[in-house]
Chains A and B, each alone.
Chain A
Amino acid sequence: MSKPKRLHPIASVIQTGKRLKGLALPGIAFIISVGRHGKEGLVGSLVISLVVVLIILLTGILSWLRFTFRFENDELRIEHGVFIRKKRYIPFERIQSIDLTEGILQRIFGLVKVQIETAGGGGGEEAEAVLSAISKEEARLIQEYVAAAKNGGAGETQFVQEGQPVFKISFGQLMILSLTSGGIGVVISALFALLSQLDDLIPFQRLFGGFEKWAVHNLFIIAIIVFLGFFLAWLIALVMTMLKYSNFTVVKTEKDFIISHGLLEKRQITIPLNRIQAIRVSETLVRHFLGYGTVTIESAGGSTANLEGANVTLLPIVKVKQIQSIIGPHISDYIFANSFNPAPKRAMWRYILRTWYFVIPIVIISLIFLKVWGMLSFILLAFVTIWAIHKYRAAGWALNEQQLSLRFQFIKRTTVFMKKNKIQSLETRGSPFQRKRNLGTIEANVKSGVGAGGGSVIDIEKSDIEKIFEWYSRNKKGDCTEV
């Protein structure tokens, strides 16, 4: 089909840069630690570092020279390795997904990074094959070959991009997404600034010494600096999210979702529909308050290095109420608009008590040591109690004919939608306290990348758990054929 091709030379630069970056810190540490012992040490360590850098440059070029790929016999054939030659042949029809990334370097030269994953997948450090810089033309060729191989050989090759549009992020949504991401830091630092006003209440001076004395007197200034730091970090995070998620579009083709996003670094991710294991809607506190949430897909496959492969954002920000109407038509077997069965009333006390186990000792200790001011810890108590009630309110479950939906809150309020035939195992747990009150925890596991995903809800009615078990069980009660 084609002659062996090399990656674009820029690939060697990228590769070398990555390795140098990894070595930079230990290298500097080495130079400093050896260089301290006089001139010879410094010169020696510098020479050694230089040699190491040269070796890396050389192997970078060599490995680029050795890396070839070609299309032959309906396979992508990659050969690489400087000392140990490796060959990897991947049949086109086995390729499950092709992810494209355009980093800044790639964009300058009109190139693209291609990550190829097969069904086997999993376990490995990286995707099955990574072509770190090839021309867009070549990337398109691979996509076409794969599409052709899947459609049963020769047939019309169709450019994979075509399909129904599912979602395109609007400017308003992008703003909400960016503004609500990582806002916690600012809140914390604001709190810190507030608390620092109370500096004379807490015996810092007795706790620390010299510099700390200065620090205590200037606590307010420090707090402001910290706050500004957080604010800056938040601003940076805001810009980063905007860059990352701008132009976020989702397109559905016959068998895949194709997600593309990014302004400076463009990414394109393909998720085969049949690899979807579960759909997750998560709402952070602020977003829940505004009625927004994030929809992610848990998919089988993906590699450990590429965690996003297992947990892909489908809709970065969307009104929770609109989820059904946006993706419902495209994955018709999932039902998102659901009425959830809550955890029973008596479970609320268990939710509250569970947080009290940790907080009550803190309250008692602070009352003992801080006397009257220890009462401030009651604020903490009130806060965690409200939090616990919030968590209790989130807990719920729903059963449809072929779908189990679990809703729970740890930090984010999360709803997981799972199909019966994707649930790998169902588990229930009960501590003595739960058993006494006829409550239990339900947990459903799905495959997610190389590990397990899914969800669990604490303290739901025991009879409800039995219902879910019965729904999942393939054995009708009574005919237990034992071994």
Chain B
Amino acid sequence: MFSEPQKRISAKALKVWRISGIIKSAIGWSITALFLFLIHIFDWPFWISVLLIVFGVIFPFLHIILFPALRWKRWRYEVREEEIELQGGIFIISRTLVPMVRVQHVDTVQGPILRKYKLASVVVHTAATAHEIPALEESEAEELRFFISKLARVAEEDV
């Protein structure tokens, strides 16, 4: 077994994901409520309502409780002189290796929830793919972006 990457993402990520899970569930519930209303009006079969309600319970459980916890537990990354290694996933665990020489540019991205918690995501772009390291401390993300772009510039090679 080859060793996992070492660094974890911010512990606050858990909170952020749970909040976004709550928002997703709220949207889901309002759509479900609309459908339940329609089902009531048009006298559609009862089992559809049951299905919807069951779904309305499971979905929040997955997106507020289970997925964020698993995701946070899995997320690891490591930025070395010559490459970036990422590990993530919920059930399917993926590991990605991106050599510094292949990095085209680096972004930091911050949604409203991330901003509130002073977090940011770093997105590394190659010529073909994009890789995100979600929810790092703002200062750390800033530092990482600077570090990667500096290394990427040094490691020049033909594409």
Q: Are B81 and A446 in contact (CB under 8 A)?
A: no
Residues of A at under 8 Å CB distance from B? 274, 300, 421-432, 435, 445-448, 451-454, 462, 466, 469-470, 472-475, 477, 480-483
A-B contact count (CB 8 A): 95
Most chain B CB inside 10 Å of its own CB: which residue of A300, A430, A472: A430
What residues of chain A lie closer than 8 Å to B143, measured between beta carbons? 483
Assess whether A482 is in contact with B82, with CB atoms less than 8 Å apart: no
Complex: how many Å from CA A422 to CA B158?
9
- Which of A425, A432, A469, A482 makes the CB contact (< 8 A) with B131? A425
* Interface range, B side: 35 or more
A428-B95 in contact given A447-B128, A483-B144 (Cβ < 8 Å): yes
B94-152 contacts to A, CB under 8 A, are 94-102, 126-129, 131, 143-144, 147
Tell me, in angstroms, the Cα distance from A445 to B102 when the chains sit together: 11
CB of B126 within 8 A of CB of A424, answer yes
Establish whether residues A424 and B95, one from each chain, have CB atoms under 8 Å apart when the complex forms: no
A427 and B147 form a contact (CB under 8 A): no
Known: A425-B96, A427-B95, A428-B95. A475 touches B128 (CB 8 A): no
- Give me the interface of B with A, judged by CB distance under 8 Å: 1-3, 6-7, 78-83, 89, 91-102, 126-129, 131, 143-144, 147, 157-159
The 8 Å CB contact of A480, one of B6, B89, B96, B98, is B6
Taking a contact as CB atoms under 8 Å apart, the answer to whether B94 and A445 are in contact is no
How far apart are B125's CB and chain A's nearest CB, in angstroms?
Answer: 10
Assess the A430–B93 pair: CB atoms within 8 A.
Answer: yes
Is the beta-carbon distance between B97 and A429 smaller than 8 angstroms? no
A425 touches B78 (CB 8 A): no
In the bound complex, CA of A427 to CA of B88 (Å): 11
Are A429 and B89 CB-contacts (below 8 A) given A475-B81, A480-B78, A483-B147?
Answer: yes
A300 touches B99 (CB 8 A): no
- CB closest residue in chain B, given A481: B81
- Rounded to whole Å, the gap between the CB of A386 and the closest CB of chain B is 27
Q: Are B93 and A482 in contact (CB under 8 A)?
A: no
